[in-house]
Amino acid sequence: MEYHAPRSLTEVTDLLANAGGRAKLMAGGTDLLAQVNKSGHWPAVLVDVKHVPELTALRWLSGGEWSIGAAVTGARLRDSVEFAGAWPGIAEAMGLLGATQTQNRATVGGNICNASPAADLVPTLVAARATCRLVGADSERCVPIEEVIIAPGKTCLRADEVLVEIRLPARAASAADAYLRATPRARMDIAIASAAVNLALDSAGRVSECHVALGGVFPVPVMASSAARTLTGWSSEDDSDTMARFKRQVSAACRPIDDARSTAEYRNEVIGVLAARAARLAWSRAAG
């Protein structure tokens, strides 16, 4: 196996273009090396992208947007007070991924490009309306994150493309997000179902904008748009009718399966509970 640790984005795209589909990108390696250790199948060319400045920058832009380099580690995101203030749900998803030794290496771009249906970070980024900047040897495009992950383990990236940064839109004054998941163990486990809610409130404390994304209940992390619309005009102080309707619509957006970790029936039930709790949590953060 050839190992390369380029220092610039041009070197990365040149390496990918020259490798003709035989190269794998690695950032933290927490998914890739675990898979290789198990399978024994090494890529012909490995391109380690964690020394490329564009991929390691974490920036709060003047317009209020955030730019997260694809190779920013979970620990950096989790520990940034400014970031966690703006996007507490994304920060808490990162704090739930593996444990300290995982978060010190695992990266935001890696969690996206590994394309697991149960990736902790992805539902929070979908709910945040994140876009991904993909750069190839002669191309550049920005793609909404829900279009990047197309199937379990598969992304829309061409063999010559690299995910460079993730952009998050600017926040309204009263806005917040939250992420909750169900796992048999509290830590070092993969979510059997997870829900991210991102909402903004008007001056009366009612939901003016809401996005809901679910993990572990569909072949890819999925938006629950009709459920999210149900919460328009909702306040956490309202009676529970809206919330009951919201839970039903969240379950309707799912297509869960039975597997070693849980059953479709349980996933269908618990996802509504998680989404409802995440909505209340996001509301109280936005109101506070």
Residues 180-209 that bind other proteins (CB under 8 A): 186-188
Q: Does 18 bind other proteins (CB under 8 A)?
A: no
**CB closer to other proteins out of 37 and 62:** 37
Cβ(210)–Cβ(198) under 8 Å?
A: yes
Q: How far is the CB of 92 from other proteins (least distance, A)?
A: 13
Number of residues in contact with other proteins, rule: CB under 8 A? 25
Q: How far apart are CA 132 and CA 111, in angstroms?
A: 13
CB closer to other proteins out of 36 and 264: 36
Cβ-defined contacts of 54-60 (< 8 Å, 24+): 54/9, 54/164, 54/165, 55/9, 55/27, 55/109, 55/162, 55/164, 55/165, 57/165, 58/83, 60/86
Both tokens assigned to 146: 């829900």
Q: Name which position in 30, 111, 131, 230 contacts other proteins (CB under 8 A).
A: 30
Contact 170, 64 (CB under 8 A): yes
Q: Per CB under 8 A, does 2 bind other proteins?
A: yes
Nearer to other proteins, 186 or 204 (CB): 186
Q: Please state, as a whole number, how many other Cβ atoms lie within 10 Å of the Cβ of residue 143.
A: 15
Residues with Cβ within 8 Å of 162's Cβ and at least 6 positions away in sequence, in order, are: 9, 12, 13, 16, 25, 49, 55, 70, 134, 135, 136
Rounded CA-CA distance 193/268 in Å is: 9
Judge residue 260's burial from the number of C-beta atoms within 10 Å of its C-beta, 0-12 exposed, 13-18 middle, 19 or more buried: exposed
Positions in 58-117 near other proteins (CB under 8 A): 75, 98-102, 104-105
Q: How far is the CB of 94 from other proteins (least distance, A)?
A: 14
Q: Is 48 in the site for other proteins (CB under 8 A)?
A: yes
Which of the stretches 40-48, 131-139, 164-172, 217-225 binds other proteins when contact is defined by CB under 8 A? 40-48
> Of 15, 16, 23, 46, which one interacts with other proteins (CB under 8 A)?
46
Which residues between 114 and 143 bind other proteins (CB under 8 A)? none
Q: Kindly tell me which of 45 and 126 has the beta carbon lying closer to other proteins.
A: 45
Interface ranges with other proteins (CB under 8 A): 1-3, 5, 28-30, 33-34, 37-38, 42, 46, 48, 75, 98-102, 104-105, 186-188
